[in-house]
């Protein structure tokens, strides 16, 4: 058989710069490492795995779901390379019927060998891509190669076949309660230049690798006012390389007291997006930082496309549906989220409550619903149309006229949280230590 005549070789990438990034949890990463290196140091091992994915404006994000590990008789034990039995391939193909997940393959190269695809890896990937396409109904195929040297330093490469084109896997993000790691693929295009100006102290404190790691990090900030601006201010000074700023609103005079990005001259303008003010502040501190401004709602497609690239997302909003959405993004895409909130109360001119809360969402941790930080009635109130509001108001009034509780119909408009700057600044800056 000469299948190569119809195959698209993975050495040619699509011309449009699209990329693929891989995300997994640290627990999945540990399981994978145990399996991949079990025949180390001289022999390879590999496994199929299942992943969820999202097509984005910049390419594709792939999130590990589970491994489809081989049985001992699925590979030829005498071969130092990974050679599959047809039974194993068929078992993997069979899982296409069990859900909408994609299937990928990952194998190791012997210890100390670069994870650069060999000629036989090229042939194998081309074969799998074309074979899987017949059954996958348009789902992508991903192939990854990992290796490590004697002191356990890991490198990887990868590529992804989707709708007739190959794209490089450029980065692999591993997120868990104890680790947040971004690794660049051997096949990724040029590395961004390092601007580590003013980071001497953090380098002395935490070591040489800290400044480049901060430089490679992408932080999403949802809500660019009282909490988001002090958070970004601190992060810009600490050398974070890229920011994704999300806020649908315009700067108002009443924001000036808490917004670290506004100036006196901004008070005379009414149409400055909050994201633009914060971009200006970040660039005054670190001109080389990349800043993506999205004057959009958290539920917009482009916002999700950008948040799934982030190392960390800060929830700096007081809207309940945004909080619920961030909880879902954390769980489904393995994106760590720190959700910041401040509550203040007063009576007769005296402060009675000052609460700052920072909650962390990620796979394996309680979500905003489990933590009682959102509820369905409040979300319904926030997202209702004017007509729905009027109907719910009327239903609540009728219930109360009957002597019943009106709250199940309408909880009332969610009042603006009244907070002042010193408290939002403290909580926004504290995110750094979490």
Catalog residues that contact Zn ion under the rule CB under 5 A. 121
Q: In what order do the strands lie in the sheet with 312-315?
A: 290-294, 242-246, 218-222, 312-315, 337-347, 350-361
Q: How far is the CB of 84 from Zn ion (least distance, A)?
A: 13
Q: Output 4 or 191, the one with its CB closest to Zn ion.
A: 4
CB nearer Zn ion, residue 27 or residue 43? 43
| Chain position whose Cβ is nearest to Zn ion | 121
CB-nearer residue toward Zn ion: 121 or 247 = 121
Q: In which residue are the tokens 């009332």 written?
A: 412
- Which C-beta is closer to Zn ion: that of 121 or that of 242? 121
CB of 122 to Zn ion, least distance (A): 9
**Quick one: 74 or 121, whose CB is closer to Zn ion?**
121
Q: Which CB atom, from 44 or from 431, has the smaller least distance to Zn ion?
A: 44
How near is the Cβ of 419 to Zn ion at its closest, in Å? Answer: 56
Q: Which is nearer to Zn ion, 46 or 59 (CB)?
A: 46
Distance of closest approach, residue 109 Cβ to Zn ion, in angstroms: 5
Q: Which residues contact 241 (CB under 8 A, 6 or more apart)?
A: 192, 195, 214, 215, 216, 217, 218, 288, 289, 290
Judged by beta carbon, residue 123 or residue 266, the one nearer Zn ion is 123
Contact, 218 vs 311, CB < 8 A?
A: yes
In angstroms, what is the minimal distance from the CB of 372 to Zn ion? 49
In the complex, what is the shortest distance from the CB of residue 81 to Zn ion, in angstroms, rounded to a whole number? 7
Q: What's the closest the beta carbon of residue 121 comes to Zn ion, in angstroms? A: 4
Question: What is the closest distance, in whole angstroms, from the C-beta atom of residue 145 to Zn ion in the complex?
Answer: 5
Considering the complex, state which of residue 121 and residue 133 has its C-beta at the smaller distance from Zn ion.
Answer: 121
Burial of 159 per CB tally in 10 Å (0-12, 13-18, 19+) = buried
**Structure tokens that stand for 138 in this block:** 């348009």
Least Å from the CB of residue 129 to Zn ion: 15
């Amino acid at each position: 058989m000469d299948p190569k005549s119809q195959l698209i070789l993975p050495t040619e990438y699509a011309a449009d710069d699209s990329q693929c990034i891989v995300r997994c949890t640290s627990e999945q990463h540990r399981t994978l490492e145990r399996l991949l290196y079990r025949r180390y140091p001289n022999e390879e091992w590999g496994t199929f795995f299942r992943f969820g994915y999202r097509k984005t404006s910049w390419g594709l994000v792939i999130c590990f779901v589970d491994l489809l590990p081989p049985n001992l008789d699925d590979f030829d034990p005498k071969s130092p390379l990974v050679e599959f039995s047809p039974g194993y391939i068929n078992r993997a193909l069979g899982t296409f019927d069990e859900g909408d997940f994609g299937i990928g393959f990952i194998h190791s190269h012997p210890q100390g060998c670069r994870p650069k695809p060999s000629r036989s890896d090229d042939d194998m990937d081309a074969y799998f891509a074309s074979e899987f396409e017949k059954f996958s109904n348009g789902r992508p195929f991903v192939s990854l190669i990992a290796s490590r040297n004697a002191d356990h330093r890991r490198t990887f490469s990868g590529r992804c076949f989707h709708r007739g084109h190959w794209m490089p896997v450029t980065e692999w993000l591993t997120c868990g309660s104890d680790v947040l790691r971004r690794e660049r693929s051997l096949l990724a295009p040029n590395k961004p230049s390092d601007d580590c100006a003013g980071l001497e102290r953090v380098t002395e404190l935490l070591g040489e690798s800290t400044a480049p790691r901060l430089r490679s990090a992408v932080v999403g900030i949802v809500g660019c006012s009282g909490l988001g601006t002090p958070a970004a201010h601190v992060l810009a000074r600490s050398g974070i390389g890229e920011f994704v700023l999300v806020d649908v609103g315009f700067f108002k005079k009443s924001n000036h007291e808490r917004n670290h990005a506004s100036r006196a001259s901004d008070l005379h303008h009414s149409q400055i997006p909050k994201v633009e003010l914060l971009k200006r502040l970040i660039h005054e501190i670190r001109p080389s930082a990349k800043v993506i401004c999205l004057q959009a709602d958290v539920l917009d497609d482009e916002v999700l496309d950008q948040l799934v690239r982030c190392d960390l997302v800060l929830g700096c909003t007081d809207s309940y549906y945004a909080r619920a959405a961030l909880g879902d993004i954390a769980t489904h895409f393995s994106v760590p989220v720190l959700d910041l909130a401040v509550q203040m109360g007063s009576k007769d001119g005296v402060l009675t409550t000052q609460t700052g809360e920072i909650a962390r969402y990620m796979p394996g941790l309680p979500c905003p619903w489990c933590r009682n930080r959102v509820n369905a009635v409040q979300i319904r109130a926030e997202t209702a149309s004017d007509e729905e509001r009027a109907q719910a108001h009327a239903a609540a009034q009728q219930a109360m006229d009957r002597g019943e509780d009106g709250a199940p119909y309408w909880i009332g408009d969610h009042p603006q949280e009244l907070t002042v700057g010193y408290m939002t600044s403290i909580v926004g800056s504290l995110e750094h230590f979490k």
